[in-house]
Chains A and B, each alone.
Chain A
Amino acid sequence: MVWLTGGSLGLCLVMIFGLLALVAHHGGRTFWPRPIRLVEDLQGNVLLGEVTESDSFAPDEGLLASLPEEHATALRAEIAAGDGEVGRRLLRTENFELTGVHYHWIDDPFVAEERTPEWALVVERRDKGRFYGFPTGFLVEGRRLAETPPAIWEKLREHEGAVLERFDRALQLEEIDLGRANRAMNDARLELREVELDEGIDSAAWRAQKVEHDRRVEGVQAEFERITGEIGRLRAVNANYQLELETVEGQQTLVGVADVVRAVPVNQLGLHDKLSVYLDRWWEFLTEDPRHANSEGGVWPAIFGTVVMTLLMTVVVVPFGVLAALYLREYAKQGALVSLVRIAVNNLAGVPSIVFGVFGFGFFCQILGVGIDELLFSATLPNPTYGKGGLMWASLTLALLTLPVVIVATEEALSAVPNSMREGSYACGATKWQTIRRIVLPRAQPGIMTGMILAVARGAGEVAPLMLVGAAKWAPSLAVDLAQFPYVFPERSFMHLGFHIYDVGFQSQNSEAARPLVYTTTLLLIGIVVVLNLVAVWIRARMRRRLHGAR
């Protein structure tokens, strides 16, 4: 029996470390550039891609029969000698727009020839996902400047910088300047609509506003055309630089150099280059927007959304949690009612998060939000501003969810402050508030910090309520935008790492292709949560030491 108990503990540990190792393994290797293999099978089909998985299976008779005789006999012998199974590997071949598949299984017995060609490229494209193939030409304004891979490579390196610069410039124009023009136009329209709602259509005020509106729209229109013209010019110049690529099947395709995020001739790279590609991909993952329906690119908006949401939540939950705990511990008359309240608060910590989500959806979005819209944003109705999920509502919902955690932790910290200290303070003539502020709170601070961090860790990992109150699969604009007054937009929906995992892993159309990225996102989320927890543990340990020291 002792052994059974020990075995259970062992099993628990194995489960934890197994899970962590699994996620770390898959998440960690996603960005490692793996050799590109060219595999030719017995039927003469060729595939080019990188091996992402391998396992074994028991071939059935039909499969064997489809092989040439001598192979089949050899294979039968091999199978009979082994455990009845042969190996197979999953090849990530991509070129999705041409082939319609992301992956190919290749059975080991069918492989006739396999090599790693020197100039096999993996090209990460901005809008179409990955491309595996060979470079066959570099075109500028339709003229072929280079034909051999090394020359093409050199040309690519040569022009890449300038093209990228133009691309960034166009993007900036589009996002910032064009956005500003759009907003100006929208503002003009909304102001007119507001006057219409207040004064009625065709009233004097409305007519005056209409003239103003037309004048402003005209001004913006000119600006608008200037910017689109500039963007068009930049894009047109960029369109002149093209990379000609060939798939392994011999299909040729042109890729604009501006469309190339990264082209890597993996098979030529040494360890050092691979490491730099690896780190570069990680950097992209952490700092860039997602591309290709969230299945490529980065998760920056999700990281940002998670962090901002958690921060907002903390700002709300800590003061109120501490207030409630102070009240319960220091001010309220200790009696049956207070202990009842305490039990209730304790129990709320066990109420499922989805219930809080339902509350947030029904109360914040549907009642408060709709109310705010009717009062302040009637011009944009029926499009909701606050009457839908958004950053603010999500933060408030999670603040409610984590409130019991903070209250309980703070109360515990407060009760750990020895009464003798309070009495000493009173004896010196301090008032109650002075005692709390100068004596009790500083002592309880580490405990409050622990509570806060535990709340943050819980809040950062919680997804279910966010599904109801504002996490989105794709939020085009961040909730904080320094280019636009008033800089913070608490009504916007936001992306969240946890929701991103659920959405890309389950709701996305090509979740298969996005799987590696989901692992990486998972790794990131676990990392954040684990670090937060470790910090909490560390603080708690320090606090304990300090308390022991004080005694």
Chain B
Amino acid sequence: MSPETTPRARRNRKTRRAAILGERFASAAITAGGIGTILAVCLIFFFLAWVVHPIFLSPTVQAGDELSGAAVAEVDRAPWSMGVDEDRLLAWTLQHDGALELVDLATGLRLSVQRPFGDESPTAASFGIGTGERAAFGFADGSVRVARIEFLADFLKDDEVSEDVIGLEVGASAVHEGGVVGRTPTGQLRLTTLSVEVLERYELGTDAPVVDIDHAESPAGFFLTTLQEDGKFVVARVRERRNLMTGKTTRSLVQTVLRESADPLLEAPREILMDGLGQSVYAVWKDGRLEHWDMRVFDAPVLREELSLLEEGELARVRFVTGKKTLAVADDRGNLWTWFPARVGGEDSDPTLRLARRFEPGDSAVVALQPSPRSRTLAVSYASGLTRLFQTTLGDKLVELECEEVLTTLVIPPKEDALLGRSSQRLWTWEIEKRYPEATLTALFRPIPYEGFAEPEHFWASSSASDDFEPQLGLMPLVFGTIKATVYSMIFGAPLAILAAIYTSEFLSKRLRASVKSTVELMASLPSVVLGFIAALVLAPLVQDILPAFLSAFLTVPFAILTGAYLWQMLPDHLAIRWAGWQRFLAIFLTLPLGVGAAVVVGPLFESLLFAGEVEGWLDGRIGSAFGGTFFLLVPAAALVTVLLMGSVLGPRMRERSATWTRAQVARFESLKFVGGTLVLIAVAAVLAFLLQAAGFDPRGGVLDTYVQRNALIVGFAMGFAIVPIIYTLAEDALSEVPSQLREGSLAAGATTWQTAVRIVIPFAMSGIFSALMIGLGRAVGETMIVLMAAGNTAIMDWNVFNGFRTLSANVAVELPEAVVGSAHYRTLFVAALVLFFMTFALNTLAEMVRRHFRGRMHAL
């Protein structure tokens, strides 16, 4: 080629601008993108923590606006009760003389005063805790009247109101037609008014004045209890039936007399109280003595117990907290306790009162107790002006404040965002941010004496339809469920995976190894929803059907494999060597169906011999003795003992003698040893089981108990599918990475393949296998769909293999979509996610560290 035709390559010594720009841009983009991506991943943890953190903040309190402390009409006696609406626009006060006044909280002005009972003044009153509940009043003539005092909300159209009301900003309010109008955040006008309805009138006892009254609204009816000046103590039940045709309500009243008249030697009770279901009536005396009347059979009340609520001092106040089950009791020295009925003597015993909590004592006599309508929060005021809020279930003090005056009446508004108190002449307000007092660390992770529990317990019950339900946010049952799922699936999966990995890496040819390994890896990619579906809808009913055979398979399959092994030893030398490859694997493979077949045959036999003919009945504890189950459980342990015994007793002696034997002779002897060993095993297990039974040990109630279709056994089996491939792959990798010169050296020194595997390869790969186990554990901890579908999802804490459980992950999956965003429940579910995050992160980090250590050792060689 001539130089003319090829243009001279012009070398550009300067880098093109485009290249420089591209370089800069790429490096910036990759750095930004890379760091950004990594940060995004880290964001997960920080976001979870950010959602969780408010539950660790303490509640705060601050003095209300300038109207707090404004003077109101002076009264000499504390009012019967007070109420505030949801938006804190209005407050009503029922004075002791029966006057009901309504105050506009924005201005402090009194809007109206009415007398719902005319000239009469109630001599006793009882109010519901929740909004919209009825109130009951007793009068001097012995009559009782029921009334409903509540706030009504009504939305107004813009053309219905005057100009200055239309101009209201969001959040502002104005007086309108006897109520208050406010503009809601969505821009609507809402009118809040007070409605007072005096409903029925009843005559319960004599015509002596009613001294004290209480009532309960339950599905069984409306209950009233009254104490009159002459000592008559009556409980009445009002049944309300609505005629569907006419729409009229007919009422029928039945009553039971607890005391006909006063005991002249005793003074009258200070207070009478009735629980929310109308099933218990309490009478409390000044010295703290309490009578508990059991009204579960209405016509036949039983004086269940008499006890003393106080240690010393005099009763100051006693009230129910929300739910009307727990009694808050306060004395004149500032002490405060809660009591609730619980079945202390076991499931079948009658409920009796037990002391639940003792609260931080105040500095002077308790003046007023007021429960919150929404939660287990109790406001307490003391004679010194000290006022506190307590969380009653946990016993925590939420906030404390000092007032210059004694607050004789307290009220917590429905949104629990404030506390209102009334002294003899002023109305005080405090703004409160309550946060999440029901979800403290103690509540999440410690046993708590929840209402009605005989003992403090870990308990998870997050939501319910009713308003006065108390969420029980103990995470421990879920953590327990997670651990249970993990343990049982590891018991099943870990040995299987590791043994399989050993066989693959040490005894299979290279070609077979590759295809077997990718098959098992394929198993890892099976979606867990498929495993869950199969486990719950195919496996669970099947296993229940063939339980004896299924259980026997755990014994017969290994037994069949071992039998096969001993028979294989009988093969002539040349065949044994020639068939050591896939033929042996095929033979092993064929023993599996034999084992399963044996299980089918032996299963019913086991059932009739060990489990009194019916496994499920035996598990229930209805039939049979402890022997069978103990025997069954002891077989693996006995096998281990037997192997060790045989090894240490027979081994050394036989080694010398058998040196001269032929292979066939050794094989025959070994088989004999195997048969003998099996018999010894059975004998050992039987003797041990017998001894244990004699000692009173019964596995039922522990790991064995009543059979439930969706249980830990099923989950363990199904989860095996999920964790076996992971452990298998990683363990196999670790085994294969052991340098081959180690193996070759061992083989050259005369060791068998098995000896090489056990003495050289496995110890060397131990840390790799361990890290494989950790990773498998991590997967089992977080697995969701399998447990969600196959574990039954009841949050209980027992180790029974045949019972279900509820894991953290399944719980989150089920409850998070329903949880109210930002509620304690919502944040608790985030705690659950965080716990899962930490559990798996810790396991994986541990595994990673071990693996690095292992790699280092590998490099050292």
Q: Which of B38, B44, B495 contacts A359 (CB 8 A)?
A: B44
A355:B37 contact, CB within 8 angstroms: no
Q: Which of A484-521 contact B (CB under 8 A)?
A: 498-499, 501-502, 505-506, 515, 518
The interface-forming segment of B208-216, B366-374, B421-429, B833-841 is B833-841
Q: Which residues of B contact A331 (CB under 8 A)?
A: 27, 30-31, 34
Across the interface, A461 reaches (CB within 8 A) one of B36, B44, B525, namely B525
Known contacts A19-B534, A358-B812; decide if A525 and B785 are in contact (CB<8 Å): no
B845 surroundings in chain A (CB, below 8 A): 343, 347
- A392 at interface by CB-CB < 8 Å: no
Question: Bound state CA distance, A328 and B35, in angstroms?
Answer: 9
Most chain B beta carbons < 10 A, residue from A22, A323, A464: A464
The residue from A8, A321, A502 contacting B785, defined by CB atoms under 8 A apart: A502
Q: Nearest Cβ distance between residue A203 and chain B, in whole angstroms?
A: 13
Chain B residues with CB below 8 A from A502, complex form: 529, 532-533, 785, 788-789
With A9-B499, A323-B37 known to touch, is A366 a contact of B841 (CB < 8 Å)? no
Q: What 1/0 mask marks residues of chain A from 453 to 482 whose CB sits below 8 Å from any chain B CB?
A: 000011011111001100000000000000
CB distance from A274 to the nearest CB of B (A): 26
Interface residue? A351 (CB, 8 A)? yes
**B812 A15 Cβ-Cβ under 8 A:** no
Q: Is A529 a contact partner of B720 (Cβ separation < 8 A)?
A: no
Q: From the candidates A13, A15, A432, name the one contacting B721 in the complex (CB within 8 A).
A: A15
Supposing A4-B561, A8-B495 touch, asked if A355 and B836 sit within 8 A by C-beta, the answer is yes
- As a 0/1 sequence over residues 390 to 405 of chain A, the CB contacts with chain B under 8 angstroms (1 = contact) are 0000000000100110
B70, CB-defined interface residue at 8 Å: no
A347 to B830, CA, bound (A): 20
Interface string of B500-533 (1 = CB under 8 A from A): 1011101100000000101111110111111111
Q: Which residues of A contact B647 (CB under 8 A)?
A: none
A23 to chain B, nearest CB (A): 7
Does A2 sit at the interface, judged by CB under 8 A? yes
Find out whether the CB atom of B500 lies under 8 angstroms from the CB atom of A355.
Answer: no
Chain A residues near B522: list those with CB within 8 A: 16, 530, 533-534
| Complex-state Cα separation, A404 to B41, whole angstroms | 9
- Spot the interface stretch: B238-246, B335-343, B461-469, B583-591: B583-591
A5 within 8 A of B: yes
Q: Of B29, B529, B817, B844, which contacts A468 at CB under 8 A?
A: B817
Interface residue B2 (Cβ < 8 Å from any Cβ of A):
no
A327-B34, A362-B47 given; A463·B527 CB < 8 A: yes
**Interface contact A355-B34, CB-CB below 8 Å:** no
Chain A residues with CB under 8 Å of B841's CB are 347, 350-351
Cα A493 to Cα B813 in complex, Å, equals 17
- Nearest CB on A from B80, distance (A): 40
Q: Which of B26, B186, B520, B562 has the most CB of A within 10 A?
A: B26
Nearest-neighbor residue (CB-CB) of B47 within chain A: A363
B window 783-819: CB within 8 A of A: 783-785, 788-789, 809, 812-813, 816-817
List A contacts of B721 (CB < 8 A). Answer: 15-16, 19
Is the beta-carbon distance between B41 and A323 smaller than 8 angstroms? no
Contacting pair A461 B47 (CB below 8 A)? no
Asked if B325 is an interface residue, CB under 8 A from chain A, the answer is no
CA distance A407 to B36 in the complex (A): 13
The reply on B456 being an interface residue by CB < 8 A is: no
Q: How far is the CB of A488 from chain B (nearest CB, A)?
A: 23
What CA separation (Å) do A461 and B722 show in the bound complex? 13
B51 within 8 A of A: yes
Name A1-53 residues within 8 Å CB distance of B: 1-16, 19, 22-23
Give the docked Cα–Cα distance between A498 and B495 (Å). Answer: 30
Does B681 have its Cβ within 8 Å of any Cβ on chain A? no
- Asked whether, in the complex, the Cβ of B534 is within 8 Å of the Cβ of A358, the reply is no
Is A320 an interface residue, CB under 8 A from the partner?
yes
Contact of A7 among B530, B557, B836 (CB under 8 A): B557
| Partner pick for B591 among A7, A363, A431, A461, CB 8 A cutoff | A7
Best-surrounded residue of A9, A22, A468, A529 (most CB of chain B within 10 A): A9
Closest B residue to A363 by CB, please name it. Answer: B47
Given contacts A11-B592, A433-B26, contact A400 B41 (CB under 8 A): yes
C-alpha spacing A461/B784, complex, angstroms: 13
Asked whether any CB of chain B lies closer than 8 Å to the CB of A417, the reply is no
A201 to B187, CA, bound (A): 11
- Hey, what's the 0/1 contact readout for B17-52 against A, CB within 8 Å counting as 1? 001101100110111011111101111100110010
Chain A residues whose C-beta falls within 8 Å of the C-beta of B585 in the assembled complex: 6, 9-10
Within 8 A of B (CB), among A220-274: none
Q: Decide: A19 near B526, CB < 8 A? Known: A13-B519, A354-B833, A358-B830.
A: yes
Q: Write out the residue numbers on chain B whose beta carbons fall within 8 Å of the beta carbon of A463.
A: 527-529, 784-785
Beta-carbon contact of A352 and B499 below 8 Å: no
Enumerate A315-333 residues with CB–CB distance to B below 8 Å.
319-321, 323-328, 330-332
Interface assignment of A421: CB less than 8 Å from any CB of chain B = no
Question: Is B754 in contact with chain A by the CB < 8 A criterion?
Answer: yes
Beta-carbon contact of B526 and A529 below 8 Å: yes
Cβ of B230 < 8 Å from any Cβ of A? no
| Contact of A431 (CB < 8 Å), options: B23, B564, B812 | B23
Judging by beta carbons under 8 Å apart, are A10 and B22 in contact? Answer: no
A162 within 8 A of B: no
Closest to A13 in B: B519
- Indicate whether A307 reaches chain B with its CB closer than 8 angstroms: no
B778→A16 contact, CB < 8 A: no
Given A4-B499, A341-B38, A352-B782, A518:B836 Cβ within 8 A: no
Which of B530, B783, B837, B848 contacts A522, CB < 8 Å? B530
When distances are taken between beta carbons in the complex, the residues of chain B under 8 Å from A363 are: 43, 47
Residues of A within 8 A of B503 (CB): 2, 5-6, 8-9
Task: Give the distance in Å from the alpha carbon of A458 to the alpha carbon of B845 in the complex.
Answer: 22
**Chain A, 335-346, contact with B by CB distance < 8 Å: what is the 0/1 string?**
000000101111
Given contacts A2-B503, A2-B754, A468-B813, contact A352 B33 (CB under 8 A): no
Within 8 A of A (CB), among B565-616: 565, 568, 584-585, 588-589, 591-592
Residue from B27, B37, B497, B537 in contact with A433 in the complex, judged by beta carbons closer than 8 Å: B27
Chain B's nearest CB lies how many Å from the CB of A548? Answer: 15
* B538 CB–A CB distance under 8 Å: yes
Q: Which residues of chain B are within 8 angstroms of A323 by Cβ–Cβ distance? A: 29-30, 33-34, 37
Q: How far is the CA of A359 from the CA of B816 in the complex (A)?
A: 11
A356 contacts B by Cβ under 8 Å = yes
Contact indicator A8/B496 (Cβ below 8 Å): yes
CA distance A366 to B530 in the complex (A): 30
Pair A350/B499 contact, Cβ less than 8 Å = no
Given known contacts A321-B37, A356-B44, A403-B37, A11 and B507 CB-to-CB distance under 8 angstroms: no
Question: Is there a chain A Cβ closer than 8 Å to B724's Cβ?
Answer: yes
Contacts of A354 in B (CB 8 A): 782, 784, 809, 812-813, 833, 836
Extra 19 A-B pairs, beta carbons < 8 Å, given A350-B841, A432-B27, A464-B784: A1-B754, A6-B584, A11-B500, A12-B728, A14-B589, A16-B522, A19-B721, A321-B37, A347-B845, A350-B778, A351-B840, A355-B44, A431-B20, A431-B23, A461-B526, A461-B527, A468-B812, A518-B533, A525-B529
Report which B residues bind A (CB closer than 8 A): 15, 19-20, 22-23, 26-27, 29-31, 33-38, 40-44, 47-48, 51, 158, 186, 495-500, 502-504, 506-507, 516, 518-523, 525-534, 536-538, 557-558, 561-562, 564-565, 568, 584-585, 588-589, 591-592, 720-721, 724, 728, 753-754, 758, 775, 778-779, 781-785, 788-789, 809, 812-813, 816-817, 821, 829-830, 833, 836-837, 840-841, 843-845, 848
10 A-B pairs in the complex with CB atoms less than 8 angstroms apart = A4-B562, A7-B591, A11-B592, A13-B589, A19-B526, A323-B37, A352-B783, A353-B782, A457-B525, A463-B527
Binding site for B on A (CB under 8 A): 1-16, 19, 22-23, 201, 319-321, 323-328, 330-332, 341, 343-348, 350-359, 361-363, 366, 382, 400, 403-404, 407, 429, 431-434, 436-437, 457-458, 460-464, 467-468, 498-499, 501-502, 505-506, 515, 518, 522, 525-526, 529-530, 532-534, 537
